[in-house]
Structure 1
Amino acid sequence: MASNAPVGKPTDMSSPRLPKVAGIDSTVPAPPHTVAPLPGVPSAAPPSDAALPPGVLIQDRLASWVSDLTTLHELTERLIKTDSLDGALREMLGAGAALVGARRGMAVLEPADGLGPTSTIGLGLAHADLGTIETVPRGSGSYGRLLDGLPEADPPGAGLPGNDPTAPRRPARVPEPIAIRDVRTEEGLDPRHREVAARLGYAASYALPLATEEAGRLGAAVWLYDEPAEPDERRRHLIGLYGRFATEHLARLLQVERARARVATVAEELLPSRLPRVPGVRLAVRHLTGPQGGGDWYDALPLPEGALGLAVGSVSGTGPSALAAMGRLRASLRAYAVMEGEDPVAVLSDLELLLRLTEPARSATALFAYAEPAQRRIVLAGAGHAPPLVVGDHRTEFVETSLSAPLGMLTCWEAPSVELSPAPGETVLLYTDGLLRRTGDATDRAFARLHAAASSVPRADRSDPGAVADHVLRTLLPGGLDPAVEGEDVVLLAARFE
């Protein structure tokens, strides 16, 4: 089996197998410029295929094919476990480097439809190195030529008689990989390309389009060699198979990523674009959206005579239907708050009746607070919702509220309201159940952790409601929301009374 060889040198037909790494016993031999021979030991002359008996030759070839298939299977198994574009690009880049016999490279995600997202990932290259490579004129770099020369797949019916939308799709043309054997002697390269190669210490490259006829162009990957070299036919075949599989996997992840972005955009559009400014109180909110977009929401509504309505809630379910229900529920609560906001129980009762009549199969939790900042007075009621938390210099305690069922669970909902008077400088935290459930702890443990997080807010940060909210979130969810984990959104609304 031939390995990569520097230009002008014969290939070694008896190169040793790569050591087993991460469960993969790859039979693709290492390139000569990455494996130094032992000093003073002459290399053995490769045996000729003609000297081998026919049966032995067939067995060797079958063993080589089986080994290649096993390697590809294990590499694709590792790739399919990635669930983000960034993770898939990194895995693809590392596996591709092993297949082509390089140690450095970069992958560029740049979908041809222009809808994004775009990113550049490096292997063995620092961020500054990637920036240096990007200074090479796009038409001179191999990956740039692939990106600019690869069209997007045609939409259904494009270019066909009558523009029939049901007509078969015309696939995109996928260009061949580009190998630059020696940057110093390759014809047609821009001088800047040679200068960058010399600065970064690479002498050759192999670029592969991340594209298929159906998916169109998603990007390109390029691997860099320390010495003049190029992959042999076998390596080209393996990386070509792996690259097509990686492209299809990236295409699926791209669809998921775009769907998540659209859901997050819709969710943000259904919520207040900014918080109101009311004398006597400062507001801050933090809203973290899960991968499918949940129905958690918040609102802050100026009311007559300097009053302020604060609300948080959660609608059962996830996805577009939950977002639509959340938007309707929030809009209805705003109307009820304007009409009878001084009585939070009446506001939630009206909301419960609307939910039961219009969406009987859905339930929701909600908390509404009627605040008079000038008097530092709050009257609130909750329907199946977690109690607020008061954070100050002299106390950190939950507001005692009566237990009540969520909206839509009973024939007629009603629960007594609660009144509290925050001291000057105290912050009231309203939050959704997602904040507790995202901790992964039991309910009692989650409440205890929330209380401890609020108690540990540095004194210097307690004058800023945004800093208080950030500290609580960092303490409870140090890694933020894991995009790979299904779960609820998180809403944290902080109101600091002057």
Structure 2
Amino acid sequence: MASNAPVGKPTDMSSPRLPKVAGIDSTVPAPPHTVAPLPGVPSAAPPSDAALPPGVLIQDRLASWVSDLTTLHELTERLIKTDSLDGALREMLGAGAALVGARRGMAVLEPADGLGPTSTIGLGLAHADLGTIETVPRGSGSYGRLLDGLPEADPPGAGLPGNGPTAPRRPARVPEPIAIRDVRTEEGLDPRHREVAARLGYAASYALPLATEEAGRLGAAVWLYDEPAEPDERRRHLIGLYGRFATEHLARLLQVERARARVATVAEELLPSRLPRVPGVRLAVRHLTGPQGGGDWYDALPLPEGALGLAVGSVSGTGPSALAAMGRLRASLRAYAVMEGEDPVAVLSDLELLLRLTEPARSATALFAYAEPAQRRIVLAGAGHAPPLVVGDHRTEFVETSLSAPLGMLTCWEAPSVELSPAPGETVLLYTDGLLRRTGDATDRAFARLHAAASSVPRADRSDPGAVADHVLRTLLPGGLDPAVEGEDVVLLAARFE
């Protein structure tokens, strides 16, 4: 029997395929001049409709629709897992490249209301390449034309009957995507556009507006082809569906990002704008906030006769209410410190009484230290707060303080104060509980790690309190404070005595 051997070029049906999505081969073809689509987005050329019986044709089309829906489901599932604007833009760019059959692209975030933030993200393009593309006159580039043609969504009631705060919005017009099949032959392009395309090695582009009728303009995305090409009608439909979903997701993340920025601004305004300069001591502070903004705070207050009041604390809760309570508590402590700062116990007792009378449902931890830098003498008291840490060339040890409940937990708070005398060149670290809890370790383990971090400060950095604080933070939180992770704020106040 004669063996069956392939003759000529392999057919489309026998060409290699990527893995299946949910067991169904995708029918979205990938142009031969592009790289393979994203993992999980397969491609294959559909058979000719004329060569199939009617029943098979219907089954094939049903399979094709199911495959498209499965593909979109996979891509939107990936997108919705992103929790930052940068991550969502990158995911959207990669998924879009697979859907339109391109290899490179860029996304521009530029909200029409002008409130920001703005950013440009590239796929397969270096930072210098993005800068080169931005030298093209805005009116010549496809994404620039989209950005200029996308209006902001009208405010409530604009242009509609019944003007008022509850009147419906007039939807913003969303322009059509822009396809440039061949940069070399496209009419009306600026010469600079052709020059940049030749330099970067792309021959065609497909630009999609990142906009919806309700959200207005958020930005635009453009994908670049290595050869003259443009997506067919089916690809346009798929990227259109995905783009609308991506825009809505970006709009939600944009609101979250703006809310976080507002909370961070309020928190910074409630804290000292700068640390005081007092002879005999050098100060440095590091304050890291979470996504909702916590109630952690610090203060450094010059007092009469060259003294200095140092305080750190934390108010229960997060968000605007915790920030407001923190501001009130800090302002009250400053007043009590001026009146009776030499007695830290009295300062915290007054603060506890105020908290219990004005905000009985809230608790707080606090530590107040009355320092006399000239004598290198510190008297401190703490309410439910972690003990300070002394760092020097000859010792790294926690200050022995008595255990006490947080403010607002007892009908009458009082605990003995502690006195210590830092040696010349030693640094005293005051910190909030967030520094320990953000490590994710048990309390004992977190204290041990903090001690080890302070002990490992390089000798050359120990003369700078800011360098000491930075080393401790880098050691305990090597990845920094992830702004997307809920949790307490971190405050680290360093005072180096001369």
Deviation string for 1:145-199 (max 9, x for gaps)?
0001100000101233563222111111000000000000000000000000000
Deviation string for 1:33-83 (max 9, x for gaps)?
237999999999996423321101111110100000000000000100000
Structure 2 stretches of 5 or more lacking a match?
Answer: none
Contact persistence 1:396–1:451 (CA under 8 A)? yes
Contact persistence 2:30–2:44 (CA under 8 A)? no
Once the two structures are overlaid, the 10-residue window that deviates more, 37-46 or 142-151, is: 37-46
Aligned pair in 2 of structure 1 residues 22, 390: CA closer, same or farther (>3 Å)? farther
Deviation string for 1:8-34 (max 9, x for gaps)?
999989986544599996432210223
Aligned pair in 2 of structure 1 residues 317, 23: CA closer, same or farther (>3 Å)? farther
Task: Kindly state the Cα deviation for residue 426 of structure 1 after the two structures are TM-superposed.
Answer: 0.3
Contact persistence 1:4–1:230 (CA under 8 A)? no
Structure 1 stretches of 5 or more lacking a match?
Answer: none
SS at structure 2 position matched to 1:308? strand
Deviation string for 1:339-386 (max 9, x for gaps)?
000000000000000000000000000000000000000000000000
Distance in 1 (CA, whole Å) between partners of 2:485 and 2:372 is 40
Residue number in structure 2 paired with 1:281: 281
For these two proteins, the number of residue pairs brought into alignment is 498
Task: Kindly state the Cα deviation for residue 388 of structure 1 after the two structures are TM-superposed.
Answer: 0.2
Task: Kindly state the Cα deviation for residue 482 of structure 1 after the two structures are TM-superposed.
Answer: 1.1
Residue number in structure 2 paired with 1:16: 16
Aligned pair in 2 of structure 1 residues 8, 292: CA closer, same or farther (>3 Å)? farther
Distance in 1 (CA, whole Å) between partners of 2:248 and 2:49 is 38
Contact persistence 2:333–2:351 (CA under 8 A)? yes
Distance in 1 (CA, whole Å) between partners of 2:142 and 2:476 is 46
Contact persistence 2:40–2:74 (CA under 8 A)? no
Aligned pair in 2 of structure 1 residues 194, 226: CA closer, same or farther (>3 Å)? same
Contact persistence 1:18–1:27 (CA under 8 A)? no
Contact persistence 2:17–2:43 (CA under 8 A)? no
Aligned pair in 2 of structure 1 residues 65, 24: CA closer, same or farther (>3 Å)? closer
Residue number in structure 2 paired with 1:320: 320
Contact persistence 1:457–1:468 (CA under 8 A)? yes
SS at structure 2 position matched to 1:240? helix
SS at structure 1 position matched to 2:221? strand
Contact persistence 1:3–1:29 (CA under 8 A)? no
Distance in 2 (CA, whole Å) between partners of 1:261 and 1:141 is 32
Task: Kindly state the Cα deviation for residue 479 of structure 1 after the two structures are TM-superposed.
Answer: 0.8
Contact persistence 1:296–1:490 (CA under 8 A)? yes
Deviation string for 1:237-281 (max 9, x for gaps)?
000000000000000000000000000000000000000000000
**Match status 1:484 vs 2:484:** yes
Task: Kindly state the Cα deviation for residue 406 of structure 1 after the two structures are TM-superposed.
Answer: 0.2
Aligned counterparts, 1:339-358, within 5 A: 339-358=339-358
Contact persistence 1:7–1:228 (CA under 8 A)? no
Once the two structures are overlaid, the 10-residue window that deviates more, 226-235 or 23-32, is: 23-32
Distance in 1 (CA, whole Å) between partners of 2:327 and 2:5 is 63
Task: Kindly state the Cα deviation for residue 484 of structure 1 after the two structures are TM-superposed.
Answer: 2.0
SS at structure 2 position matched to 1:333? helix
- Give the TM-score of the pair, scaled to structure 2: 0.94
Contact persistence 2:35–2:102 (CA under 8 A)? no
Distance in 2 (CA, whole Å) between partners of 1:11 and 1:158 is 58
**Match status 1:163 vs 2:156:** no
Aligned pair in 2 of structure 1 residues 207, 75: CA closer, same or farther (>3 Å)? same
Aligned pair in 2 of structure 1 residues 272, 21: CA closer, same or farther (>3 Å)? farther
Distance in 2 (CA, whole Å) between partners of 1:16 and 1:115 is 48
Residue number in structure 2 paired with 1:420: 420
Aligned pair in 2 of structure 1 residues 428, 47: CA closer, same or farther (>3 Å)? closer
Task: Kindly state the Cα deviation for residue 85 of structure 1 after the two structures are TM-superposed.
Answer: 0.4
Once the two structures are overlaid, the 10-residue window that deviates more, 206-215 or 33-42, is: 33-42
Aligned pair in 2 of structure 1 residues 410, 367: CA closer, same or farther (>3 Å)? same
Distance in 2 (CA, whole Å) between partners of 1:305 and 1:268 is 29
Contact persistence 2:20–2:42 (CA under 8 A)? no
SS at structure 2 position matched to 1:332? helix
Contact persistence 1:113–1:152 (CA under 8 A)? yes
Aligned pair in 2 of structure 1 residues 70, 44: CA closer, same or farther (>3 Å)? closer
Once the two structures are overlaid, the 10-residue window that deviates more, 258-267 or 49-58, is: 49-58
Once the two structures are overlaid, the 10-residue window that deviates more, 14-23 or 98-107, is: 14-23
Contact persistence 2:29–2:44 (CA under 8 A)? no
Contact persistence 1:17–1:30 (CA under 8 A)? no
Deviation string for 1:387-445 (max 9, x for gaps)?
00000000000000000000000000000000000000000000000000000000000
Contact persistence 1:430–1:492 (CA under 8 A)? yes
Contact persistence 2:17–2:42 (CA under 8 A)? no
Contact persistence 2:41–2:98 (CA under 8 A)? no
Distance in 1 (CA, whole Å) between partners of 2:323 and 2:22 is 43
Distance in 1 (CA, whole Å) between partners of 2:39 and 2:374 is 85
Aligned pair in 2 of structure 1 residues 53, 311: CA closer, same or farther (>3 Å)? same
Aligned pair in 2 of structure 1 residues 420, 426: CA closer, same or farther (>3 Å)? same
Distance in 1 (CA, whole Å) between partners of 2:4 and 2:86 is 29
Aligned pair in 2 of structure 1 residues 74, 36: CA closer, same or farther (>3 Å)? closer
Once the two structures are overlaid, the 10-residue window that deviates more, 157-166 or 49-58, is: 157-166
SS at structure 2 position matched to 1:161? coil
Aligned pair in 2 of structure 1 residues 10, 177: CA closer, same or farther (>3 Å)? farther
Aligned pair in 2 of structure 1 residues 191, 11: CA closer, same or farther (>3 Å)? farther
Distance in 1 (CA, whole Å) between partners of 2:38 and 2:116 is 49
Distance in 1 (CA, whole Å) between partners of 2:380 and 2:452 is 24
Distance in 2 (CA, whole Å) between partners of 1:287 and 1:120 is 28
Aligned pair in 2 of structure 1 residues 82, 3: CA closer, same or farther (>3 Å)? farther
Aligned pair in 2 of structure 1 residues 246, 7: CA closer, same or farther (>3 Å)? farther
Contact persistence 1:18–1:28 (CA under 8 A)? no
SS at structure 2 position matched to 1:168? coil
Aligned pair in 2 of structure 1 residues 302, 147: CA closer, same or farther (>3 Å)? same
Distance in 1 (CA, whole Å) between partners of 2:197 and 2:43 is 31
Distance in 1 (CA, whole Å) between partners of 2:41 and 2:301 is 82
Distance in 2 (CA, whole Å) between partners of 1:194 and 1:407 is 68
Distance in 2 (CA, whole Å) between partners of 1:358 and 1:312 is 20
SS at structure 2 position matched to 1:334? helix
SS at structure 2 position matched to 1:374? helix
Aligned pair in 2 of structure 1 residues 497, 218: CA closer, same or farther (>3 Å)? same
Aligned pair in 2 of structure 1 residues 497, 2: CA closer, same or farther (>3 Å)? farther
Distance in 2 (CA, whole Å) between partners of 1:486 and 1:199 is 45
SS at structure 1 position matched to 2:13? coil
Residue number in structure 2 paired with 1:249: 249
Contact persistence 2:177–2:207 (CA under 8 A)? yes
Distance in 1 (CA, whole Å) between partners of 2:262 and 2:38 is 57
